[in-house]
Amino acid sequence: MTSNIMQPILKIDLTTGKTEEYRIPEKWEKEFLGGASLAARILYSSLSSELDPLSPEAPLLFMMGPMTGTSGPTTGRFVVCGKGPATGLWAESNIGGFWGPELRAAGYDGLWITGKAQEPVYLWLNGSRLAVRDAAHLWGQNTYTTQDRVKEEIGEKSARVCVIGPAGEKQVLFASIMCDHGRMAGRTGLGAVMGAKNLKAIAVRGTNQIPVFDLAKYAPLRSEANRILKQDNEARVLREIGTAGAANYAEYLGALPVKYYTRGSFENVDNISGAKMTETILTGRSACQGCVIACGRVVKLGDRAKRKGPEYETIIGFGPNLLNDDLESVVDLGELCDRYGMDTISTSNTIGLAFHLFEKGVITEKDTDGISLEWGNLDAIEQLVNLIGRREGIGDIMAQGSRWFARHFGAEEEAVQVNGLEVAYHDPRGVSGMALSYATSPRGACHNQSDYFFVDWGHTHEQLGITFFERHAQAEKAANVARHQDWRTVFNSLVMCIFANVEPQMQVKLINAACGLNWTIEDMMKAGERAWNLKRAINNRMGLTRADDKLPKALLEPFPDGGSAGFVPDFNGMLSAYYKARGWDLESGKPSREKLPTLGLDDVAQDLWD
């Protein structure tokens, strides 16, 4: 029997209009499973340091996993991959909703888009029939309106639509891609890549059964895994009070950055907490396809229509980060970003930087067209979101991300970013493992490639050897962080949500049934390690070295207050221990000549070292 489970990828060249089915080599499926890992293998030779991520040649790959749409635990997800326009590095962004399962039901496990349409277009994939349609009349429309209008035009209410908003069209370098009214591929600016291709939307409808290698084996495992997950304590908290339920504890620990990462405590945290949202404005919960957790929030403000409620990152970014404790304003600011199609972490981080530079006198009202950036000024925050989304005034500079914005004003060291991706809101001064998570993630300062803050809070994975180290421990936890990254890379291969607390023993059984494999837990972890190293090699080929594995200045200065006051991670010591655990060359930062063949990456070893 063959273990080939993935369906073909549809390649679409927007310049020529040509399409072609791409069959994934079976060997690669067995080594990388799917999702971002398999995408890295497929795109490996297409990504180079010379490639302009906003050029027609740049690839954009919408990639499914072997469990996408199978109703396994949190498997309604897919991932978008390419080269990041702000980072110049490997880019991936994991997204939920229903679009991924719909594409699989249409008979494809990926869309690989290159080229650039002459005029704005959208794609309509109805089963195997692809139409390229004019989108000139949709250009400038927000993400919500675009989805509705595309569905109306194609006359198919059941279709699912992925879109960009005005920010993607104008190539804001942290523009996102949205599907299903509020689910976002938020990070790494791949909405700008889509905009650069003049591609406004992709509508999909599929009616096939989604393939599973051994459904008889998979179905009872899926039921059991979902039953356990539904009763899991973390899942219950996520369902009850959402991801923002983490705000109070993070603040208590001094792991919640306040006032653009300069303070470690926020006395009004209760006003913006998940509990507060549940008690005041919450009217419902939403879930991605098949998910039993349902972390999504539906809220109602006064007599206005129901709308999406914000999650943790949006709340902290537009809340404590900007000294704002008005929860309803955060709902509106999050929605404004969604409508433009912009990542709320990068947007709020870059706005925080603007306030910070204003306070330091680096920028003045002359630079902001008269807007006074006094902390807590809600009107100013909203104006900046609009200016960025439209690329007007100072917003045009901010639209290039915090690194370029700060550099423009000669203050690059003030930007809280790693390799061009803005840091999320889990501060390594409160949970030290995040120092390595941010500095070594293949896509810049990412909290999802290893949400190690959970481990620092005490959530271990003993079966994997991921044990507990005190939250301010240092180099001794480096190998643990590497192992956790490998574990999360498995999630990104499948593609699953990091909120799914599925035990490794169950995870490997699900993989074996879904893919026709006979893996052990160690085989599964090795696949994660292989993909992590492959993405590292892609970045090395694009110019990344050890000197780029660093933290911004602000994260290496102690908080003056809060539960972690006075502590900073010994970053260099941690990084050296991490390199040793990874088997990476201490000087160049590349996976070593000896390491790569142990992962089956002989060709990559040749590329990097010969």
Q: Position of tokens 């509705």?
A: 148
- Per-residue burial over 166-180, b = 16 or more CB atoms within 10 Å of its CB, e = otherwise: bbbbbbbbbbbbbbb
Pull the structure tokens for residue 231: 């009763």
Nearer to ligand SF4, 31 or 92 (CB): 92
Binding map of ligand SF4 across residues 32-71, x = CB under 6 A, - = no contact: ----------------------------------------
Strands (E), 411-493: 417-418, 421-422
Q: How far is the CB of 577 from ligand SF4 (least distance, A)?
A: 32
Cα(37)–Cα(492) distance, rounded to whole angstroms?
A: 7
**Residue 83 is which amino acid?**
K
Residues 6, 58, 192, 291: which binds ligand SF4 (CB under 6 A)?
A: 291
- For residues 47 and 542, the answer to whether their CB atoms sit within 8 Å is yes
Q: Is 228 in the site for ligand SF4 (CB under 6 A)?
A: no
Strand partners, 525: none
Residue 194: which of 14, 37, 343 has the closest Cα?
14
Residues 96, 186, 257, 442: which binds ligand SF4 (CB under 6 A)?
A: 96
Q: How far is the CB of 94 from ligand SF4 (least distance, A)?
A: 9
Nearer to ligand SF4, 44 or 499 (CB): 499
Angle of helix 504-515 relative to helix 521-541, nearest 10 degrees, comes to: 80
Q: How far is the CB of 287 from ligand SF4 (least distance, A)?
A: 4
- For residues 81 and 63, the answer to whether their CB atoms sit within 8 Å is yes
Q: How far is the CB of 599 from ligand SF4 (least distance, A)?
A: 29
Binding map of ligand SF4 across residues 142-181, x = CB under 6 A, - = no contact: ----------------------------------------
Binding map of ligand SF4 across residues 495-514, x = CB under 6 A, - = no contact: --x-x---------------
Residues 37, 71, 74, 400: which binds ligand SF4 (CB under 6 A)?
A: 74
Q: Is 288 in the site for ligand SF4 (CB under 6 A)?
A: yes
Q: Is 294 in the site for ligand SF4 (CB under 6 A)?
A: yes
Binding map of ligand SF4 across residues 296-335, x = CB under 6 A, - = no contact: x---------------------------------------
Nearer to ligand SF4, 449 or 592 (CB): 449
Q: What is the DSSP secondary-structure string of 414-428?
A: G--EETTEE--S--T
Instruction: Number of residues interacting with ligand SF4: please give it, by CB under 6 A.
Output: 11
Q: Is 594 exposed, middle or buried (0-12, 13-18, 19+ CB in 10 A)?
A: exposed
Angle (CA) 566 568 573, round 5° = 145
- Cβ neighbours around 406 below 10 Å, total: 26
Interacting residues of 472 by C-beta distance below 8 A, sequence separation 6+: 432, 564, 567
Interface with ligand SF4 by CB under 6 A: which residues? 74, 96, 287-288, 291, 293-296, 497, 499
